[in-house]
Amino acid sequence: MKFGKRLKQQIQETLPGWCDKFLSYKELKKLVRLISSAPTRLGGQAGAEYGKAEAEFMYLLHGEIEKFNSFFVEKEEDFIIRHRELQQRIQKVIRTWGEKGSHPSEKLYKEEMTKIRKDIVDFHGEMVLLMNYSNINYTGLAKILKKYDKQTGGLLRLPFIQKVLEQPFFTTDLVSKLIKECESTIDAVFPMEVHEMARPDGEAAGVSDSVPGEGIFRNTVVALRTMQEMRKGSSTISQFSLPPLNLPDSDLARFLQLNSPIQIS
């Protein structure tokens, strides 16, 4: 699948409010065509058109980086707060209704933990979507810069990508850490519940009950597929390619793969 179609599909499958945060790939591609088709050494209107297209391309390119960074940092800060709140909720339920709590109650304990489990799965899925957001926008930038260099004879890709690698939206260490901590929490606090989600026939049991809003589950699976496709080995692999995707071998990661025909590992 061509990148433009993959990006369009990803935007259609993403969460509400995320659609306009992705790379303006189509607009950048149009500007590259304008630049490559305009005579560079002619004066007058032709030269002016080239200069205008070049300026618009660079302006949009830098604007996209700012857009990615702003959205990514905002979500990252939100994830830190939500992660802390989820941990506090778990401890509060254990202290209050747990076996050794101040007011032991198996019924209330299970009810509250079920709510928390749903929120954790939802939270995990949204973090995976943000990882995919970083991956797909980086890939789009690398591809559009490759087109620019190829069609205009410029040498923009290498220096620009070197700057991109230092941008907040590409630095996903914190989100990766939160994802692993989230999965560790699932394994430690809800081991039986996670196993119950996966039936021997390979289908997700009670997905509509286990995942708050089927959209987040479906979108997360799509994101995992997209990341796997973009990071798999290719004959055209280069220094600008993302490394292969290796997800943690956790129960939750396996659960998220149940509906995917592509082996994600």
Instruction: List pLDDT tens digits, range 181-233.
Output: 988 888 888 765 544 333 333 344 333 344 334 455 566 666 666 656 655 64
The answer to whether residue 193 sits within a structural domain is yes
The pTM score is: 0.76
- Distance CA(256)–CA(72), nearest Å, equals 23
Q: Where are the alpha helices (DSSP H) in 199-250?
A: 207-210, 214-231
The count of domains in the chain is 1
pLDDT at 52: 86
**Range of the structural domain that residue 224 is part of:** 66-257
The answer to whether residue 12 sits within a structural domain is no
The answer to whether residue 226 sits within a structural domain is yes
Distance set, CA 16 to CA 2, 21, 80, 203 (Å)? 24, 11, 21, 27
Instruction: List pLDDT tens digits, range 34-52.
Output: 998 876 555 556 667 778 8
The answer to whether residue 49 sits within a structural domain is no
Burial per residue of 8-41, b for 16 or more beta-carbon CB atoms within 10 angstroms, e otherwise: eebbebbbeebeebbbbbeebbebbebbbebeee
